[in-house]
Structure 1
Amino acid sequence: MTFIIVSFFGVLQFVKSGAPLLELYTKFHNIHTGRSSAPFINPYDFAFFSSFYLYYYFVRGLFYKPIYFVGALAAIVLIAISQSRSIFIGTFVGLFLIMPCVLLISESHFLNRFRVKKGILVFFLSLFLLVISTVIMFPLLEEKVPYAVNGMKNLMEGKRINSLSVRREQFEVALSYVEQNSLVFFTGNGPAKTVLEFVESIYTYFFFRYGIIGLIFFFFIVLFLGIYNTFTKIKMYPEDHIYKAVLIWLLVIPIVSATNNFTEQVRLSFFYYLILALVMSRKKVNTKIVNQNRCI
């Protein structure tokens, strides 16, 4: 149900309809840019949330029923209409690098017996079809999501990208305060919103506000515990494939967080810590309830 509601808001914003309703959830500027973000504040928050469902439905389509690929396709559409370049890159890494590794490791008992599970073969075939579809639809993507496509083209051509420049400047500001007071390197400056109110990169966010200690304890250790517990759950419940999707999503976070702040955002942070709570719980996730309610 959650995914359906978010999809409704995203499509509504993309077709530029229902502005009075959307203004309750997202920035007024976002409503008229053609980049879907509601019910989140920023387009990249919307895309990051949708990316979880991409991995979730993709994995379920591989190992349960092909009908779940429809949900994965819907998530790809949502990521596309958000036009978030960082999530585009993160999704590419997640699908083509991290997911194959997770699936091969989690299904290693089949490989040891020289058997390849059907789901893994379907996975590589799906990736191939996804690449072909992207190439065929590239002219349409260039027309409908120009912000993302042009940004990716500029990145590959080595041209200046304003959003990356802003993130670099924010990190330089954080370093300048360390040069003034070396203690800040360890403890940070606190919120200090008069200096950096909206910090883009999660690394700069924690480093500037809480120092290297805060970055390690509040971000890396928490994320590591989530990844470790998820991997443990995969070993304990190899047939419960929801943990594979969670692991892929968590492993992508350090990559996409270099340019965006996902884990400490309004609304989105609740979803992130909810996922961590589920994998750190001693109890097994009841996938029957998940499938009935579509809550995660």
Structure 2
Amino acid sequence: MGASSDRLFVFVLDAGFTMQAFSSAVEVLRLLHRVHPKARLRYKALGLSGAPVRASNGFALIPDLYPSEVPSRATLIVVAGAEASKVPAPALVARLRDWARRGHPVWGVSSGVVRLAQAGLLNGRSVSAHWEDFAYLRQDFPKVKVTTALFTHDAQIATCAGGGAASDLMLHLVRAEFGPETADEIAARLVIDAVRDGRAPQRRGSEMRFETANHLVFAALRRMRANLFAPLSIARIAADLGISQRQLERLFMQEFDQPPGRVYAQLRLEDARLDVLSGRRDLTEIALDYGYKPVTFSRVYKRLFGVLPSDDRKRAMS
């Protein structure tokens, strides 16, 4: 879609929606018109009843549109809050199905992703979601592949972890349609250091991936996460827990089918990847900070992520 296209984003506000996720997305679009006055991307807010919709922080927002007023080519962006997995919204779910059948792109931001899953729109897809929704989505929607990525998208469906990641999603859109200079200018006005690539994982993503009910393994993971720059030896971690290294290795194999050293390396590299994708620091500096020689860093990075750090950064900045 070119920069001359006329496009309307309709933010569908669910009761208890997350204000930060909503405003993070809207502010990018607002500033787009200041930075690029000829931009023809517009935005409106919608509530199913037309009455003010109260956010999770207690503030109420007056919608611009009723459901019957949605134009035929509009993109619907559902924004919901933490109660989405606990409080059914059958009227909203039915509307989402109808909009999708009519060919509307339908996106989910924050727990709006939960509403898309409830509508059956995410089956067979890899999606981004807020880490607090991981357990619910994995248990109730096994056909949905939940990832730790900040956002994912294709022509019809986009999903976003919410919070500040909503800015990243909209800046990604601006970059694609109006160029990197426009996206960078908007980011600067929002005092955002860099536009994060959608593949960047959430800070808590690895914690959700390495879930465990075993108190010893959990304690070992906490020590690993607290020592990412200067890693502890596995023997030291085991000693701190009052068990043998062999016992700790056996517990990790039972929980994750991986030895603790490999899990530790993944945690450190996932943290390093955030630095790589941000584009702020030299790759050699990043490698050395995490205790790797540059050549070794590139080799283990590619083994885990399937791409060299230099190429990963180029993709994120393109």
| TM-score (norm. length: structure 1) | 0.24
Structure whose residues are more often helix by fraction: 1
Structure whose residues are more often strand by fraction: 2
Rg comparison, structure with higher value: 2
- Higher RCO (C-alpha under 8 Å, 6+ residues apart): 1
